Amino acid sequence: MLLGSTALEKLLCNPLQTGSLEDLVPRVHDSWNVEFPGLAALPRFDGETRRLRVCIATEDIVGPVRNGGIGTTYSYLAQLLAQIGYDTTILYLKGQECENGTIEEWVEYYAQRGVTFVPVPNYGGIERIQTSADRWLLAPYNMMRYLLDHPMDVVHVSEWRGSGYLSLLAKRQGIAFQDTLFIVKTSSPWLWNRLYGSQPLDRLDDLAKTTAERRSVEYADMVIGGSLHLLRWMGSQGYRIPRSHTFVQPNVVSFDHLRDLMAERPVTPGMRLPIDEIVFFGRLESRKGLFTFVQAIKRIIRSGGRLPPRISFMGKPGARLTARPNQDILDYIRSETADWPVEVQILTEFQQYDAIRYLLSGDRLAVMPSMIENSSLAVYEAAICGIPFVASDSGGTPELIAAEDHGFVLCDSHPIPLAEKISEAVRLGGYVARPSFHNDDVLGEWRQFHLDLSRGLKEHLLKRAPPPVLHEAATSACLYHVSGDAELRQTLDSLAAQGHLPAEVLVAVDGDDPDGVSQVERMGAEYPFSVRAIEAFDLDSGPAFNLLAGQASGEFLLFLWAGSTLRAEGLTALSGIAQASGADVVNYFYRVAHGPEKADRDYLSAIVLGSVTEAFFRTDLTALPLFVRASAFAVTGGFSTDYRVLGQDYEFVANAQINGLHCETALVELGTVPAWNEEWLYQRCYDEPVSQFRAIRPQLASVPLALRELLLMSKGLQARPGGGGRAKPGRSAPARASAGPAAKGTFSRMFSAFMGDVADAAEPQAAPPSSPNRTVRNIGEQMARSRLDPEGRFSGAVLTARKGELLGLIVDEQQPARPVELEVLINNKPVSRIKANADLPTALNLPKALQRHGFVLPVFSSRFPLGLQRRGKSVSFRIAGTDIAFPASLVAPPDRPLQSFGIEGYCDPSQSGVVRGWAWMPKQPDAVVDVSIFIDGRFLARIPADAERLDLRDNGIGSGAYGFSITVPKVLREGPAKTVEVVSSETGLLLKRGWLLLEGNSVQFAKASRDARIGAGASFKRKLPARGPAVN
């Protein structure tokens, strides 16, 4: 056994690379030449049509989402399936999140079209699941859980964001869905977006998402791509595409609702029409070619070329230009076009029907110069409706246009050829191109395909090699025993409860009791299997497990720390999954247990073994139960032999993956693992930074030496503050009160307890997957640390501003019965004194010890005439007779709009008792905006708007980490309806749509009085798409 530096040298100083990274994601050398057939190539089936249960699972759908191409085609597909007579369900994976109208309105909207619309329940939130990528993995988890409860014959799902990954993985493992046909639509992989957009990955959990997107295609029963381009790109990136079950088929889109418009202006393909207006047609963002278009028009102007009298920009506002991060995309258009010698207009509110009507109602040229496209809906529409257009030849766009017309309407996505093509259209007339297909034929093929599925095609497509014959494999349970006998007995009891008992149990004893081995032997005699105790004093976990594995006789080895438990039938499940999937290493979902007194902190750990790149950045050090083939364990060389260092299990998995072993995660909860006890780790001197390093050594050993420093720097940057590492699950959560000096004071203890009561009253709620819910407890922890002087005598804070007033609390910890006197400074000038002896208007009662220690300062009353009211007032407080001061607050006049202070913020409705929305400062995108929530005018909480929201990032709102979400305590949701106000904590101004009505669990927009709307900005109008989906 190699120990110490000798073992480290073998790992990291070996002259040979370990493993073969190229085999993990192999290059497909014919990827850009491969061809795939259309759906018409499938065999036809006759006979009776059965009523199939079909589910379309998606995060993007016409209605609640300001949709793009995925939502549009799935909406039409759902209606086509309903017309066939199938039992059709849209499973909306964003749950209760709704950008337009209300969920109830969209349930009714689709019901009228024969489709069941289901916002997915948040199973993950209810079950308190934690993963390595909570931001996106909850949607796949919720989808899988829903399908387990509601079996389907056919499931349509996009690879986008990996929504179907866990369901497909469960099918692969033989857990469920053996009779369900999963049809994966290729749409918009994140890696494809980033590479063609020349952008890096900038979120650690993007690594998990890209893996899930890849596996969704690889594990699909059937893949249907809207373009050959994207499928070829996937092959070029090492996707193992199931070629015999992959097809290229134009998307499902109906134009029946546009036929009256097309009839008003009959055109013949191949004609040229005069142009008196140029229209940029598509989402207003760089990826759609906005920058290229602007530069092309500038080129025409500079060269003296002719332009029509008007140029329009028609589409939804999208992401900001990366070169102009502080400029809204509409402001960018206005600034760039200010000196153009033509009329410029921006049209952002058109739905599809209105957009097509606009393009057809005049002599207009649509321009769609996208940097990259899969299968552009805008080009679809222009070609089908006979609209003259110019488009880039990027991605899958050429596949939509008849080959003989490419030279008339397509060009490179660059300002020079685009300017030439636009000038040609202005000079000669806009060209009406022919589509490469007849849409009625495409719809007919989709219809025939789904009819055939019910007549035998589904069973034909599901035919695979016969499943492996499972046997009752012998398992050796290897336990590392380092703590009390009670923990070991807990583990042995769970093994004794198995329907298929382990062949043997080996216990490595590494405690401080010299009689430990004999004690374990005596305990083992009570169980219905052989228990062997083996001395492992001072070996630590890795070498101890190796020692046990060397003496084990089973086909499989189960590695557990004593104190872990396995559910009944857990061994049978693990053995079955390993045999069905061919896996060499299997982990599983497990509950991290904090003990009976802290059971409220328990959570479900769902670490899915994905790519080695994702594992490189993982920071979770919770003990990882592993089920390993004995033969595979021998190939890996076992665990490394570090002393007093955690992470040997994660290192083992990474090493197994890099060496080509098959690693799987059983997607079922099969047991518990005790959370690490901080004090125990401290006393035994377990080194956390070294543990993090240990887990990445296989990646370091597998890359060329020229890249090793790159990996070391990447991990080091992650470890720095703000580097993106998530909290370490499995550790005991901190107590509510801070352990510092402030925790000893009345204010800290009582305010923290108060906020804890609020959090307890709130109860766990199902927050939407993309917006993690905050309870008020973390606010209490912040307040508990709000000491104002080094000695900790004074504790307090300004809680918030509202309607020109400041609310705060302060306590003298040495004389808590005496109210503190404060000197008020406005714009740095002393103007008055006040005493903190008021009862604050709080939504829940403050503890008695904090009552009459508040202050409310009307900043804009006649008592304080200093300052320019239109700009706000800088207000600070100083404890009278001292130099101890509160930080200054810039309080806004109550009649000013929030935007004038550089803040944008909105609230969203919900049906789960959650107040949520987003807020940010466009000119300071890294700053965090705090928001405050008031119930019936009484303060509830102050929370930071820093939760990551994909919809914000996708729409160009900075990094997207500007969301907030908080559950209203149950006691406040009961009884009559209440008003909710959400304000910027610093300025006190209302967010847009920040005046809400709380009625039970419903949180909806309210019609506010003029006073309540002050500072809220423009009103919000909901629109339902009466005739078709929104412009992409």
Give residues with Cβ within 8 angstroms of 847, minimum separation 6. Answer: 750, 751, 753, 754
Q: What is the pLDDT of residues 332-363, one digit of tens each?
A: 999 999 999 999 999 998 877 889 999 999 99
φ, ψ for residue 798 (rounded to 5)?
-80, 120
Residue 288 has pLDDT above 80, yes or no: yes
**pLDDT at residue 971, as a whole number:** 87
Instruction: Kindly indicate the confidence band of residue 235, based on its pLDDT and cuts at 50, 70 and 90.
Output: very high
Residue 503 has pLDDT above 50, yes or no: yes
Q: Which amino acid is at 868?
A: L
Mean of pLDDT values over 289-304: 97
Contact indicator for 701, 654 with CB cutoff of 8 Å: no
In angstroms and rounded to an integer, the radius of gyration of the C-alpha atoms of the chain is: 32
Q: What is the pLDDT of residues 715-748, one digit of tens each?
A: 888 876 545 443 343 443 333 222 233 333 444 4
Q: What is the pLDDT of residues 556-601, one digit of tens each?
A: 999 999 999 999 999 999 999 999 899 999 999 999 999 988 888 8
Beta strands in 374-514 (DSSP E): 389-392, 410-411, 430-431, 475-481, 504-509
Report in angstroms the alpha-carbon separations of 725 from 306, 692, 728, 774: 55, 11, 9, 19
Q: How far apart are CA 755 and CA 775, in angstroms?
A: 9
Q: Which amino acid is at 782?
A: Q
**pLDDT at residue 47, as a whole number:** 86
Contacts 24+ apart (CB under 8 A), 857-865: 857/805, 857/806, 857/808, 857/824, 858/804, 858/805, 859/801, 859/804, 859/805, 859/806, 859/826, 859/891, 860/804, 860/891, 860/893, 860/894, 863/831, 863/832, 864/824, 864/826, 864/831, 864/832
Residue 370 has pLDDT above 60, yes or no: yes
**pLDDT at residue 505, as a whole number:** 98
Instruction: Kindly indicate the confidence band of residue 526, based on its pLDDT and cuts at 50, 70 and 90.
Output: very high
Residue 1021 has pLDDT above 90, yes or no: no
Residue 424: HSE in the Cβ half-sphere, 13 Å Cα cutoff: 17
**pLDDT at residue 389, as a whole number:** 98
**pLDDT at residue 135, as a whole number:** 66
Across the chain, which distance is largest between two alpha carbons, in Å? 97
The domain limits of the chain are 38-248, 257-434, 475-719, 741-891, 898-1013
Class of domain 475-719: alpha beta
The DSSP-derived string for 342-363 is SEEEEE---BHHHHHHHHHTTT
**pLDDT at residue 728, as a whole number:** 43
- Specify the length of the chain in residues: 1032
Mean of pLDDT values over 105-128: 93
| Fold adopted by 257-434 | Rossmann fold (3.40.50)
Residue 764 has pLDDT above 60, yes or no: no
Residue 840 has pLDDT above 80, yes or no: yes
| CB neighbours of residue 243 within 10 Å | 12
Instruction: Kindly indicate the confidence band of residue 511, based on its pLDDT and cuts at 50, 70 and 90.
Output: confident
Contact indicator for 103, 64 with CB cutoff of 8 Å: yes
Q: How far apart are CA 256 and CA 128, in angstroms?
A: 46
**pLDDT at residue 1011, as a whole number:** 41
Q: How far apart are CA 312 and CA 299, in angstroms?
A: 17
φ, ψ for residue 174 (rounded to 5)?
80, 15
Q: What is the pLDDT of residues 386-443, one digit of tens each?
A: 999 999 999 999 999 999 999 999 999 999 999 999 999 999 999 999 999 999 999 9
Closest to 744 in 3D by CA, of 779, 790, 778, 795: 795
Closest to 9 in 3D by CA, of 880, 670, 697: 697
| Fold adopted by 898-1013 | Immunoglobulin-like (2.60.40)
Residue 103 has pLDDT above 60, yes or no: yes
- Better-predicted residue by pLDDT, 889 or 910: 910
Calculate what percentage of the chain has a pLDDT beyond 90.
57
| Common-topology check for domains 38-248 and 898-1013 | no
Q: What is the pLDDT of residues 543-555, one digit of tens each?
A: 999 999 999 999 9
CATH 3.40.50.2000 fits 38-248, yes or no: yes
Beta strands in 451-584 (DSSP E): 475-481, 504-509, 531-535, 556-561, 565-566
The H-or-E segment that residue 761 falls in is helix 746-762
Report the DSSP pairing between strands 978-984 and 154-158: unpaired
pTM of the model: 0.76
Give residues with Cβ within 8 angstroms of 95, minimum separation 6. Answer: 119, 120, 121, 122, 142, 766, 768, 769
Lowest mean pLDDT: which of 646-650, 689-693, 705-709, 865-869? 865-869
Contact indicator for 633, 586 with CB cutoff of 8 Å: no
Instruction: Kindly indicate the confidence band of residue 101, based on its pLDDT and cuts at 50, 70 and 90.
Output: confident
**DSSP label of 41:** G
Which residue is associated with the tokens 């009307």?
A: 858
φ, ψ for residue 336 (rounded to 5)?
-75, -25
For residue 48, count CB atoms less than 10 angstroms from its CB and return exposed for 0-12, middle for 13-18, buried for 19 or more. Answer: exposed
Closest to 418 in 3D by CA, of 300, 303, 336: 300
- Beta-bridge mates of residue 1030: 351
Q: How far apart are CA 875 and CA 1012, in angstroms?
A: 23
Closest to 878 in 3D by CA, of 822, 919, 945, 953: 822
Q: How far apart are CA 167 and CA 370, in angstroms?
A: 33
Q: How far apart are CA 809 and CA 782, in angstroms?
A: 13
- Better-predicted residue by pLDDT, 765 or 80: 80
Give residues with Cβ within 8 angstroms of 205, minimum separation 6. Answer: 132, 133, 134, 135, 136, 137
